[in-house]
């Protein structure tokens, strides 16, 4: 019954706000109540349900039609997704999510594109051509490389101010013929990738070695295990990225650790929520039933964009909507709006092997021992040297802090705010402000924490 009491509380407090959003919330809450199956459902008699309905409807009927308080947008429109990280990031994200088997999937399109470009430097022939197509590089075109370098520089400058980012990128190789000095040098100095040799496994298996590399690259964050074990043959190369991201808001959130609320993700869990109200850039797409919210990070060097469906649902529908055109349209329509925000305070970690998805996007030859051509990386490598996996470890933390040292939380006085209550699955994007690069994209499908069923 705990969950039910909480719903009542939520509904009561909401009914006070008399917001046009109430209808959605009401729909949502009823939907959830109906979703509770098993013994809990039996104990909910129709009487309190009816009472709730009347309570909520009354408040809708008694509230006058409302104008949203809207101010003209103080920021320039940065709507165009011209940076090469967007097309790669959105395609890979959709491809990762397409069969619904992945939860809490995060990648950094920027770090990934940089690593792929580094490896491309070792390839020739059709293998190289497929890297070019994937990264949209045309002949003798330096634009993509320059855009990535510039974005990485910008991220480096924002690190420690708008967020902290711990990251490592490496090329692992398993008993390969000697790699060319020039290739290795460029890998390390220009692209910032380490080279790590996986020799005959003695103390640690290759996977253990990779996992511990990832953990130290993420500054000791716990890493999620890969779903599939990875066999490596002599001649195998593994491209790996590991990162831990924690943003600092331009305006901090209010939170209480004891304030556990229900999170209706793919699992129902209890999670602490953090809150703040203020004027934020926001857009509500009624047709696609999604709220789009931009949250500035400290000193404005980056921002986080959240895509929250109106109702509790799996993200499958929203995932399939994420085309560059639609995202661009959404970002272009963001408008300063009075908001009351509630976000889960949580940490998400994800480990993925992108082999299948990259192959779907046309990177085919690189994986094949006979047809892969990495002869620039090693003149002896033909017929052996191949890409075995592209591994990506990510951890992202949603916390209340702003970047301000005396970071006191202060709510802005806003009237009749729109409610953005992120107690169900949503999508997170992080973009670099000055270059527009897509630093991260991912889905928060569920939060850690005690399952709700344990408490019923
Ligand atoms: C960001 O800053 C932290 C702390 O200063 C540092 O450890 C880390 O290596 C930096 N990350 C990047 C990507 O430069
Ligand atoms: C964000 O980017 C825009 C456009 O590049 C720039 O005009 C603005 O100054 C940037 N904001 C900050 C805080 O760096
Ligand atoms: C933002 O809102 C104002 C006032 O309602 C409106 O005039 C303007 O067109 C909106 N901007 C966008 C980009 O939708
Ligand atoms: C690898 O490439 C060879 C030569 O192009 C081809 O015959 C073979 O079918 C490919 N293997 C796989 C698993 O695709």
Total number of domains in the chain: 2
CA 323 to ligand 3 centroid distance, Å? 23
Atom of ligand 2 nearest to the CA of 435: 5
Residues 360, 240, single domain; the answer is: yes
Query: Which ligand is in closest contact with the Cα of 370?
Result: 4
User: In the prediction, which pLDDT does 201 show?
Assistant: 63
Beta pairing class for 236-247 and 386-398 = parallel
365 falls within a domain? yes
295 falls within a domain? no
For ligand 4, whether the C-beta of 368 sits within 6 Å is yes
Q: Does the structure show a pLDDT above 80 at 111?
A: yes
Residues 179, 237, single domain; the answer is: yes
Query: Which ligand is in closest contact with the Cα of 439?
Result: 1
pLDDT in tens, 86-96: 999 999 999 99
Q: pLDDT band for 231, please (50, 70, 90 cuts).
A: confident
337 falls within a domain? no
CA 257 to ligand 2 centroid distance, Å? 35
Q: What is the CATH number of the domain that holds 362?
A: 3.30.497.10
Instruction: For residue 401, give the nearest of 258, 274, 220 by alpha carbon.
Output: 274
Q: Does the structure show a pLDDT above 50 at 12?
A: no
For ligand 2, whether the C-beta of 192 sits within 6 Å is no
Measured by CA distance, the residue closest to atom 1 of ligand 4 is 368
pLDDT in tens, 54-97: 444 444 444 433 334 444 444 444 446 889 999 999 999 999 99
The lowest-confidence range among 56-65, 201-210, 242-251, 345-354 is 56-65
Residues 116, 221, single domain; the answer is: yes
pLDDT in tens, 191-228: 999 999 987 666 678 888 899 999 999 988 887 777 77
Query: Which ligand is in closest contact with the Cα of 76?
Result: 2
Residues 214, 129, single domain; the answer is: yes
pLDDT in tens, 275-302: 999 999 999 999 999 999 999 999 999 9
pLDDT in tens, 310-337: 999 999 999 999 999 999 999 999 999 9
Q: pLDDT band for 19, please (50, 70, 90 cuts).
A: very low
CA 45 to ligand 3 centroid distance, Å? 46
Q: How far is CA 311 from CA 166, 290, 381, in A?
A: 34, 9, 53
Mean pLDDT score of the chain = 83
Measured by CA distance, the residue closest to atom 2 of ligand 2 is 434
209 falls within a domain? yes
What radius of gyration do the chain's Cα atoms show? Answer: 24
Q: pLDDT band for 434, please (50, 70, 90 cuts).
A: very high
Q: What is the pTM of this model?
A: 0.83
For ligand 4, whether the C-beta of 288 sits within 6 Å is no
Residues 227, 135, single domain; the answer is: yes
Measured by CA distance, the residue closest to atom 4 of ligand 3 is 70
Measured by CA distance, the residue closest to atom 8 of ligand 2 is 434
For ligand 2, whether the C-beta of 434 sits within 6 Å is yes
Q: Measured between alpha carbons, how far is 434 from 301 in angstroms, rounded to an integer?
A: 7
Residues 114, 44, single domain; the answer is: no
User: In the prediction, which pLDDT does 236 show?
Assistant: 93
Residues 240, 169, single domain; the answer is: yes
Secondary structure percentages of the chain, helix, strand, coil, to 5: 35, 30, 35
State the CB neighbour count (10 A cutoff) for residue 127: 25
Residues 132, 16, single domain; the answer is: no
% of the chain exceeding 70 in pLDDT: 78
pLDDT in tens, 368-414: 999 999 999 998 766 689 999 999 999 999 999 998 876 566 677 78
CA 247 to ligand 1 centroid distance, Å? 13
348, two tokens: 């998400």
Residues 28, 150, single domain; the answer is: no
311 falls within a domain? no
Measured by CA distance, the residue closest to atom 6 of ligand 3 is 72
Q: pLDDT band for 102, please (50, 70, 90 cuts).
A: confident
145 falls within a domain? yes
User: In the prediction, which pLDDT does 453 show?
Assistant: 66
User: In the prediction, which pLDDT does 79 show?
Assistant: 45
Residues 33, 145, single domain; the answer is: no
379 falls within a domain? yes
User: In the prediction, which pLDDT does 141 show?
Assistant: 77
Residues 120, 51, single domain; the answer is: no
User: In the prediction, which pLDDT does 381 show?
Assistant: 64
User: In the prediction, which pLDDT does 252 show?
Assistant: 92
Domain that holds residue 27: 1-64
Q: Which residues line ligand 3 (CB under 6 A)?
A: 70, 333, 335
Q: 270: alpha, beta or left, given left = phi > 0 and alpha = psi -120 to 50?
A: beta
Residues 19, 120, single domain; the answer is: no
Burial 297-311 (b: 16+ CB within 10 A, else e): bbeebbbbbbbbbbe
Q: How far is CA 47 from CA 1, 31, 50, 52, 443, in A?
A: 15, 17, 5, 9, 38
Length of the chain: 456
235 falls within a domain? yes
User: In the prediction, which pLDDT does 21 show?
Assistant: 42
pLDDT in tens, 116-141: 999 999 999 999 999 999 999 987 77
């Amino acid at each position: 019954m705990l969950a039910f009491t909480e719903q009542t509380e939520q509904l009561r407090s909401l009914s006070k706000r008399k917001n046009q959003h109430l209808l959605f919330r009401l729909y949502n809450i009823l939907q959830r109540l109906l979703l509770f199956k098993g013994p809990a459902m039996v104990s909910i008699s129709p009487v309190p349900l009816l009472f709730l309905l009347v309570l909520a409807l009354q408040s809708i009927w008694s509230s006058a039609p409302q104008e949203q308080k809207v101010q003209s947008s103080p920021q320039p429109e940065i709507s165009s997704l011209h940076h090469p990280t967007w097309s790669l990031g959105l395609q890979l994200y959709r491809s990762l999510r397409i069969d619904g088997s992945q939860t809490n999937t995060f990648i950094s399109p920027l770090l990934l594109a940089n690593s792929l470009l580094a490896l491309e430097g070792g390839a020739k022939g059709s293998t190289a051509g497929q890297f070019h197509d994937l990264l949209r590089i045309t002949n003798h075109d330096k634009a993509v490389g320059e855009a990535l370098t510039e974005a990485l520089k910008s991220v480096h400058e924002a690190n420690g101010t708008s967020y902290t980012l711990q990251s490592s990128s490496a090329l692992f190789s398993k008993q390969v013929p000697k790699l060319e000095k020039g290739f290795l040098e460029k890998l390390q100095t220009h692209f910032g990738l380490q080279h790590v040799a996986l020799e005959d496994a003695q103390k640690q298996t290759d996977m253990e070695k990779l996992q511990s590399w990832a953990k130290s690259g993420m500054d000791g964050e716990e890493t999620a295990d890969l779903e599939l074990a990875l066999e490596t043959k002599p001649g195998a190369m593994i491209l790996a990225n590991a990162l831990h991201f924690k943003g600092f808001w331009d305006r901090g959130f209010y939170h209480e650790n004891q304030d556990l609320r229900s999170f209706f993700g793919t699992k129902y869990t209890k999670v602490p929520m953090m809150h703040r109200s203020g004027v934020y850039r926001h857009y509500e797409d009624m047709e696609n039933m999604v709220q789009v919210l931009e949250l500035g990070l400290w000193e404005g060097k980056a921002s986080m964009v959240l895509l929250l469906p109106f109702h509790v649902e799996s993200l499958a529908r929203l995932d399939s909507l994420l085309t560059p055109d639609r995202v661009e349209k959404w970002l272009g329509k963001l408008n300063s709006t009075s908001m009351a925000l509630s976000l889960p305070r949580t940490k998400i970690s994800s480990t993925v092997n992108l082999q299948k998805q990259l192959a779907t996007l046309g990177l085919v030859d690189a994986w094949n021992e006979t047809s892969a051509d990495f002869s620039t990386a090693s003149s002896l490598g033909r017929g052996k040297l191949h890409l075995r996996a592209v591994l990506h470890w990510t951890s992202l933390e949603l916390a209340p802090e702003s970047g301000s040292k005396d970071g006191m939380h202060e709510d802005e006085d806003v009237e009749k705010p729109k409610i953005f209550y992120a107690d169900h699955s949503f999508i997170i994007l992080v973009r670099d402000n000055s270059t527009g690069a897509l630093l991260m994209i991912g889905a928060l499908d569920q939060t850690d924490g005690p399952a709700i069923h344990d408490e019923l």
